[in-house]
Structure formats: structure tokens, C-alpha cells
DNA sequence: CGGTTTAATGTAATCGATTACATTATGTAT
DNA sequence: ATACATAATGTAATCGATTACATTAAACCG
């Protein structure tokens, strides 16, 4: 049976109130009592019962981060950044990955609305319908969205500029002289970042005085994280009679799948096909040829989102900008060339 | 002010005991009372206060997973597997990443020994000294080690066979005719998996009737996750006058750094240098040439470790094998050839 | 020196659930 | 009809901290 505050108080010859003060506001306690209490704590190896503290204070010092999967480079970059901020503010992190499974996502949302489980929720790139997320927004714990936003909701969102990332890649290819560029936007069309990326793609064409070919925009009705789906989509593009001369992949992993497909078909990058990625993951530098991609400051977005969340938790009437947008940069490497 | 059980009881015309029974053991409640309580819960949008429940029951339904970093492929594979098991058993997951920072690791250990924060701890690949981990082992919450073990501690460990992974890669290279094989074991020598990998490397040599050259075993005194350290180590190996003919990298990411270093120097893989990795990460298949590596069932290890942990939590006198070892397979691709 | 502020501590109510035990009603066996 | 088992519910203690309020002692001031 572990020691409780009562025991510490008895051993130190003080009341539990004093012990509690030593722990939470030591400036109210005399040096003498402080020392005696600390000694008693050490001697008895006393540990606070956090459930009791939470019940009394109504604070958990825990936040939940809801993510689609931990295996995506962008996502775990965000999780790490968020954890760093959390730890410096003495918060712990509950990780809830939905895996694109709506039932699982709803179960988590259900859980997170319970009392005194978490003080706040950080929602990263949800796949589920906005109505679900709204449930959380109307719960008791503050909510901040990251890498995502829901139109007409006054919950703060912190985003990287999904429009400009694909815009920059597409414009670069157009400037190289490509006209038949395909967009591998392998997510659901209603998914916010997918919508924005498509917008960036189309805008680049329009700004160049051209029109994109809708047949070259590939999206998935039922998105999964299985690479097989990706492969099928890529096969569809590469094996058609009038093959595109360039491919804008919606992230680096998809671009790498394109690399593999090209190798299998004897197509050379960039001579036969130009390819761009997005996110600047580690291996984008190592592949041959090094991948032209876009640097997105996801970690920065995560950090800021977490800081906003903590502000909302600790300050009842904190004012947070509804949308914060981080800019992105094109990183030119060697995977693009003028069309053959 | 959110509704509490009292309010539900009043509205349903029953006592709080009955409400609690509806939630926790509905078989004790009459159909009529059940319906009335459920209606009241819905009407008032009642949510359990988990802090109160935890205080009373002394159970948190939360487990902590302590990991070095979330960004390593093996680690997040384990985290995902663990989360899947957790969710099916109604547990939530607290993620604690130490980033190889001893102070941070100790802070987390300190935190995790508090009462009613978590029901158990899963410790994955710790970097810190065993004494630290021992503190947890002697705490109140059950502990299971994953990808690691501490000699002479009776805490259950679930491991992949680190000896055999490097053994197989090394033997394969020896059979191809290599004699000057380097081991890039870029971790601290006292780190358990590093010790085992070194053992596997040496055993392969001994089994072939040869002796490894200690000068070709590279380890780090102060390991970090910075790729610069890796690059320095690789430069040291490749630029020495009597270059090794093959490199066994301790994981795939290190192997990819070797690829980059070779490209920079105009060395061809596998003609000029053979390379093997370990872990079979996604991009190992995409690089050119595809990387010969070792498949390690990390997810299986994570799942089993979590199941063991839950058994320990729920069954006071569960008996768990002290060490469980998962076997590994060499995956031969195209990054190795006979020495030039 | 009386009065007032300040510092240090104690007393006890409180947070919101769970559950041992008591109570009542109902059915069943003898 | 009596005794007894069973089902359904209620009463109230309990988990272990925090903190408003009360109390006491010491310090300070004109």
C-alpha cells in the first residue's frame, strides 16, 4: 500500500494542508516545515495520487493528439514537435491514431469527450467528416486543428500552405515546358489538404494561361494507406497511350512509388518523365535521382498549434487567430527536366 | 457545469448506485430502470468523470510507452501495433519519447511512477542506464521491455533477434567472398541491441573460420540521432586507404546514408561496394539498387509485449516468459555482389 | 502598550464516482 | 403459511488530494 499525504503529514508532524502546500505553493510554508515534509516524502517514498488531484482541481495536465497514422513522415514530425512543447509545459501526450477508420475515429472522439481525461485536443489531418470533429469542438476541452480546417467553425487552425506547395511544383514544371502534367492526389476529394492541393495545381495552370486536363488529376474515392492503391493509380497513368510528361505527386512517398514504377518499366527520370514530391522526407535526398520536392514546416505548425492549445487551456479568454498559415519552399533537385 | 451522476439519478428517479450499475454492470439492473437511466444520460448529455472513477477504482485504463524517438521506422511500427492492441482492450496510450536525452528520460520515469497516471509501462529500446529503468520496475505499475532486455532483471522482455539479423547479413557477405566487411554499429556500445548486433557480426566471422577486424567495427561513444554523426563515421570508412569491400549497416537509414556517400564519391553499389541494411523500411525497396536487408517483426514484438503487459495488469499472478525472441529473415535484393 | 497587519498552520468541506452492506419486494420450496 | 432464496435498489462510506476559512502567533506601528 503506497503512502498517502496523510502518512507524510503524520510523519512530518504537520497537517495534510501543509504537505499539499509544500508540493503546490512552497512559498507559503516555513523553511522548517518544508524541510520536515520533504524528508518525510523521501523517507516514505511518497508519490502524489494524480487521480485525486485531477478530481479536485479538474485539470489533467494531459492533452490528446488525434492523427491519421503515426507512420507518415509529416505526422510524426508534428507529433514530436508537439511532444516537445508539451513536455516543457509539463503536459503529457495521449496519442490517438485513427488509421483512416471512421469507427475508430468516432470511438476516440467519444472517449475524448469524457470528463477529466484530457485538458485539450489537437486534431491533425482528420479524415472523417467535419460533423464528427464538431462534437469535440462543442465538448468541454479546447480544440485546435492542425494541418486542416473546417469552414465556418471558429476553432483555431494552424496550417501549412497546401495550395502553394503544389502550386510551386506545378509552376516549376510548366516553366520547364511541360504541358501534360498529372496530379497524383491520392486522397479523398473531400479531404481538406487534397482540395487545397488540387486548387494549387489548377491555379498554376490558369496563371500560365493554360487549362489542366481533368483526366490527369487522379484522386481516390475510398482512400487507404495501402500502397497497392497507389500502385494501381500510377500504373493507370504510366501505361496509357498518351503518357503525361511529368507527375506531381501529393507527397514524397507517392513520388517514390513512381520511381519504382519507372524502374520496372525502364523509364528514366528525369529524361523520360519528370517527378516532383512534397514534404521533403529524409529519403527524398537519397534516391537516385534526388527528388525535387517541397519543404513544408510541419514541425513549426505542430509547435504553434500546441502553444495555442495551451493558451486556450490556461487562459479562459485567450484570443487566437482563427487561421495561421505557414509558407512552403520548393526544393529543386534532379528529378525534373524539360519534356522529351 | 457538466451533469454528474447525481443529476442523472435524480432525473431517472433512482439512486446514484443504480446509475453506476447501469454503466458498469447492467445485468444487475431491471430493464425498466436501465431504460430510464439511459434516457436521462442522453437527455443530460452525461459523461463520466474519469478522475473520480480512477480515484475510486485505482485503475486508469492507460498505459505508457517509452520510446527513444517516434521518427524511427521500427519504433513507430511498434507504437502502432501497441496502440492497436491497446484500443481493442479499451486502453489509451501515453507516448513518452526520450530523444536519447537522459534528463528527459529520467523526468518521464519520475512522472510514470506517480500514482494513478498509468496502469503499466512498456519500455522500448531505452538508451539510458539500466538503473533508471529499474526504478520503474520497482514502482507499482507492471513493466514490460520491448526490443531490449536487462540482464538479471525478472521483468518480461520481448525482443527481435538482434544477433541473428546482423549474423545473417554478415554471413551472406562472407559467402559472397568478402573478407573486409565493416560494421556500422552507430549506437553506444553498451546499448543492448548494439551489443547483440556486434555479437552477430563476430559470430558470423568465427563460424566461417575467420576473425573480424576490430578496426572495421564502428560505434559511437555519444550516440545522437543526428545524421551528421553518421556521415562522419561513413566518411571515415570510405576514405581510408584500404577501404572495406562491404558494409553492414545497423539499420536501413544508415545504409541509405552509405548510398548517398557512394554517390558523392562516384562509387557504384554493388560493383565497388556491397551494402546491407536492417529493418526493411519502406524505401529500402525503392532505392537504386534495391537494398538487401533484414526483415524484423517489430510489430509482432510490440503486439505481444502489449498483450503481456495487459495480462500483468489484469491478472495479479500471471506468468509471463522472461524472454520472448522473434526470428528474423534476410531479404536479398541487389545491393550486394562479390568483392571487386 | 493596544491595535493591526502578516505569516504559518490547521480544520474540515469538497471533487464525483464506486461498492459493501442494508433493505425491500417477489418468488419458491416445504 | 412459514422460511428462505433471489432480484432490485438504496444508503452512506470511501478513494486521496486541494483549498476556503478559521485560528494562532509574531511583527510592526504610532
Of B78-87, B128-137, B149-158, B316-325, least confident by mean pLDDT is: B128-137
Q: pLDDT value at position A180?
A: 95
Residue B128 counted as domain residue: yes
pLDDT for position A224: 66
Same domain, A208 and A259: yes
CA distance A259 to chain B (A): 7
Are A69 and A217 in the same domain? no
Q: Which of residues 54-73 of A touch B (CB under 8 A)?
A: 54-55, 58, 60, 62, 69-71
Q: Given an 8 Å threshold on Cβ–Cβ distance, is B286 in contact with A96?
A: no
pLDDT value, residue B286: 80
Position B155 in a domain: yes
Q: Are residues B44 and B139 in the same domain?
A: no
Query: Per-residue pLDDT tens for A106-135?
Result: 999 999 999 999 999 999 976 666 777 888
Q: What are phi and psi of A38, to 5 degrees?
A: -60, -40
User: What was the pLDDT predicted at B154?
Assistant: 79
Q: What angle do CA A88, A91, A92 make, to 5 degrees?
A: 120
**CA-based nearest distance A263→chain B, Å:** 9
What mean pLDDT value characterizes chain B?
Answer: 92
* Assigned domain for A128 exists: yes
- Does A114 reach chain B within 8 Å, measured CB to CB? yes
What is the mean pLDDT of the segment spanning B207-229?
Answer: 85
What average pLDDT does this structure show over B244-265?
93
Residues facing strand D, Cβ within 7 A = A 4-6, 16-17, 19-21, 23-24, 46, 48-49, 52-53, 55-57; B 13-18, 21, 28-30, 32-33, 52, 55-56, 58, 115
- Least confident interval from A53-57, A72-76, A156-160, B138-142: B138-142
Give B-chain residues touching A97 at CB under 8 angstroms. 80, 83
B36: in domain? yes
CA-nearest of A44, A95, A48, A147 to B70 is A95
Q: Summarize the confidence of residues B309-337 as an average pLDDT.
A: 95
Listed range (A4-13, A221-230, B32-41, B178-187) with the worst mean pLDDT = A221-230
Q: Assess if residue A337 is contained within a domain.
A: no
Please give the Cα distance from A270 to B303 (Å, whole number). Answer: 42
Candidate from B54, B114, B260 with C-beta closest to A47: B114
Asked if the model's pLDDT at residue B75 lies above 90, the reply is yes
- Interface contact B42, partner A, CB < 8 A: no
Measured to protein CB atoms, the chain D nucleotides within 7 Å are 7-12, 14-20
Highest average pLDDT, of A170-174, B26-30, B145-149, comes from: A170-174
CA A59 to C1' D11 (Å) is 30
Same domain, B25 and B70: no
- Rounded Cα distance between B127 and B74, Å, is 15
Average pLDDT of chain A is: 92
Could you give the percent of chain B with pLDDT greater than 90?
76
pLDDT of amino acid B199? 96
In a domain, A339, yes or no: no
Q: Is residue B118 part of a domain?
A: yes
Give, in Å, how far the C1' of C13 lies from the CA of B76.
47
Q: Which three-class secondary structure state does DSSP give residue A98?
A: coil
Nearest to A51 among B47, B51, B71 (CB): B51
CB contact under 8 A, A117 and B50: yes
Task: Output the pLDDT for position B153.
Answer: 79
Residue closest to sugar C1' of C13 by CA: A56
3-state secondary structure chain B: CCCCHHHHHHHHCCCHHHHHHHHHCHHHCCHHHHHHHHHHHHHHCCCCEHHHHHHHHCCCCEEEEEECCCCCHHHHHHHHHHHHHHHHCCCEEEEEECCCCHHHHHHHHHHHCCECCCCEEEEECCCCCHHHHHHHHCCCCCEEEECCCCCCCCCCEEEECHHHHHHHHHHHHHHCCCCCEEEEECCCCCCHHHHHHHHHHHHHHHHCCCCCCHHHEEECCCCCCCHHHHHHHHHHHHCCCCCCCEEEECCHHHHHHHHHHHHHHCCCCCCCCEEECCCCCHHHHCCCCCCEEEECCHHHHHHHHHHHHHHHHHCCCCCCCCEEEECCEEECCCCCCCCC
Q: What pLDDT score does A128 carry?
A: 67
Same-domain pairing of B21 and B111 = no
Chain B closest CA to A161's CA: distance in Å?
Answer: 23
Q: Which nucleotide is nearest to A29 (CA to C1')?
A: C8
Query: B258 to chain A: nearest residue by CA?
Result: A286
- Mean per-residue pLDDT, B180-202: 91
CA distance B17 to B28: 11
Residues A311 and A281 in one domain: no
pLDDT of residue A285: 86
Strands across the sheet with B62-67, in order?
A323-326, A157-160, A143-146, A120-124, A62-67, A92-97, B92-97, B62-67, B120-124, B143-146, B157-160, B323-326
Lowest mean pLDDT among A91-100, A184-193, A207-216: A184-193
A317 shares its domain with A290: no
> Residue A144 half-sphere exposure, CB side, CA atoms within 13 Å?
30
Residue A226 predicted with pLDDT over 70: no
pLDDT at residue B135 is higher than 90: no
**Cis check: omega of the bond before A87, within 30 degrees of 0:** no
Nearest residue to A245 via CA among A222, A264, A262, A228? A262
Co-location of B117 and B175 in the same domain: no
pLDDT at B128 over 80: no
Range of the domain at A127: 60-160+298-327
pLDDT above 70 for B79: yes
Residues B104 and B153 in one domain: yes
Provide, in whole angstroms, the distance separating residue B50's CA from nucleotide C25's C1'.
Answer: 34
Residues of A in contact with B257 (CB under 8 A): 286
Instruction: Tell me the pairing of strands B143-146 and A157-160.
Output: unpaired
Of A87-101, A248-262, B89-103, B120-134, the least confident: B120-134
Closest-CA distance of chain B to residue A55, Å: 5
Average pLDDT estimate for A75-79: 95
Q: How long a stretch of residues is chain B?
A: 340
The nearest alpha carbon in chain A to B260 belongs to A286
Q: What pLDDT score does B137 carry?
A: 81
Q: Are residues B64 and B148 in the same domain?
A: yes
Alpha helices in A46-190 (DSSP H): 50-57, 73-88, 102-112, 130-137, 162-175
For residues B286 and B302, the model is more confident at B302
Is the pLDDT confidence value at B6 over 90? yes
A319 and A248 share one domain: no
Query: How many domains, chain B?
Result: 3
| Chain B CB within 8 Å of residue A47 CB | yes
**Higher-scoring residue by pLDDT: B126, A236:** A236
Find the CATH number of the domain harbouring B181: 3.40.50.2300
CA of B51 to C1' of C21 (A): 25
pLDDT given for residue A86 in this prediction: 97
SS3 state at A186: coil
- Close Cβ partners of B3 (under 8 Å, ≥ 6 residues apart): B44, B45, B46, B47
Q: What is the arithmetic mean of pLDDT over B64-81?
A: 93
Q: Report yes or no: A299 at the B interface, CB cutoff 8 Å.
A: no
Measured distance CA(A252)–CA(A276) in Å, rounded: 8
Question: Is residue B268 in a domain?
Answer: yes
Tell whether B50 is within 8 A of chain A (Cβ). Answer: yes
Region A74-84 average pLDDT: 96
**Which residue, among B2, B4, B6, B50, would best test binding to A if mutated, counting the most A CBs under 10 Å from its CB?**
B50
Which B residues in the span 300-319 are in contact with A, Cβ-Cβ below 8 Å? none
User: With bands split at pLDDT 50, 70 and 90, how would you rate the model's confidence at A286?
Assistant: confident
Q: Residue B226: is its pLDDT beyond 70?
A: no
Cross-chain Cβ contact B77/A94 below 8 Å: no
Answer whether residue B227 shows pLDDT above 90: no
Is residue A191 domain-shared with residue A270, that is, in the same domain?
A: yes
Under an 8 A CB cutoff, do B116 and A79 touch?
no
Q: Which position has the higher pLDDT, B264 or A62?
A: A62
Amino acid at each position: 500500500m503506497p503512502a498517502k499525504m496523510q502518512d507524510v503529514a503524520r510523519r512530518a508532524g504537520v497537517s495534510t494542508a501543509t504537505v499539499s502546500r509544500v508540493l503546490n505553493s512552497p512559498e507559503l510554508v516555513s523553511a522548517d516545515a518544508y524541510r520536515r515534509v520533504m524528508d518525510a516524502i523521501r523517507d516514505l517514498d511518497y508519490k502524489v495520487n494524480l487521480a485525486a488531484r485531477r478530481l479536485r482541481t479538474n485539470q489533467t495536465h494531459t492533452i490528446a493528439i488525434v492523427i491519421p497514422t503515426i507512420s507518415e513522415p509529416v505526422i510524426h514530425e508534428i507529433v514530436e514537435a508537439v511532444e516537445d512543447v508539451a513536455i516543457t509545459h509539463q503536459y503529457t501526450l495521449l496519442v490517438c491514431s485513427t488509421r483512416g477508420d471512421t469507427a475508430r475515429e468516432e470511438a476516440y472522439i467519444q472517449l475524448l469527450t469524457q470528463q477529466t481525461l484530457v485538458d485539450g485536443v489537437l486534431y491533425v489531418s482528420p479524415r472523417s467528416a467535419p460533423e464528427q470533429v464538431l462534437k469535440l469542438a462543442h465538448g468541454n476541452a479546447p480544440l485546435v486543428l492542425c494541418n486542416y480546417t473546417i469552414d465556418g467553425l471558429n476553432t483555431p487552425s494552424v496550417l501549412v500552405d497546401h495550395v502553394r506547395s503544389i502550386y510551386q511544383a506545378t509552376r516549376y514544371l510548366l516553366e520547364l515546358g511541360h504541358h501534360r502534367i498529372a496530379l497524383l492526389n491520392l486522397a479523398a476529394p473531400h479531404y481538406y489538404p487534397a482540395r487545397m492541393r488540387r486548387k494549387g495545381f489548377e491555379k498554376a495552370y490558369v496563371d500560365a494561361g493554360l487549362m489542366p486536363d481533368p483526366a490527369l488529376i487522379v484522386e481516390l474515392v475510398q482512400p487507404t494507406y495501402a500502397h497497392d492503391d497507389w500502385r494501381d493509380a500510377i500504373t493507370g497513368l504510366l501505361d496509357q497511350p498518351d503518357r503525361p510528361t511529368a507527375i506531381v505527386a501529393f507527397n514524397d512517398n507517392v513520388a517514390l512509388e513512381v520511381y519504382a514504377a519507372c524502374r520496372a518499366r525502364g523509364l528514366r527520370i528525369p529524361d523520360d518523365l519528370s517527378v516532383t514530391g512534397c514534404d521533403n522526407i529524409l529519403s527524398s535526398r537519397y534516391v537516385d535521382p534526388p527528388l525535387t520536392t517541397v519543404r513544408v514546416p510541419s514541425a513549426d505548425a505542430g509547435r504553434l498549434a500546441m502553444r495555442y492549445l495551451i493558451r486556450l487551456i490556461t487562459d479562459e479568454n485567450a484570443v487566437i487567430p482563427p487561421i495561421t498559415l505557414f509558407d512552403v519552399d520548393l526544393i529543386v533537385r534532379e528529378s525534373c527536366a524539360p519534356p522529351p
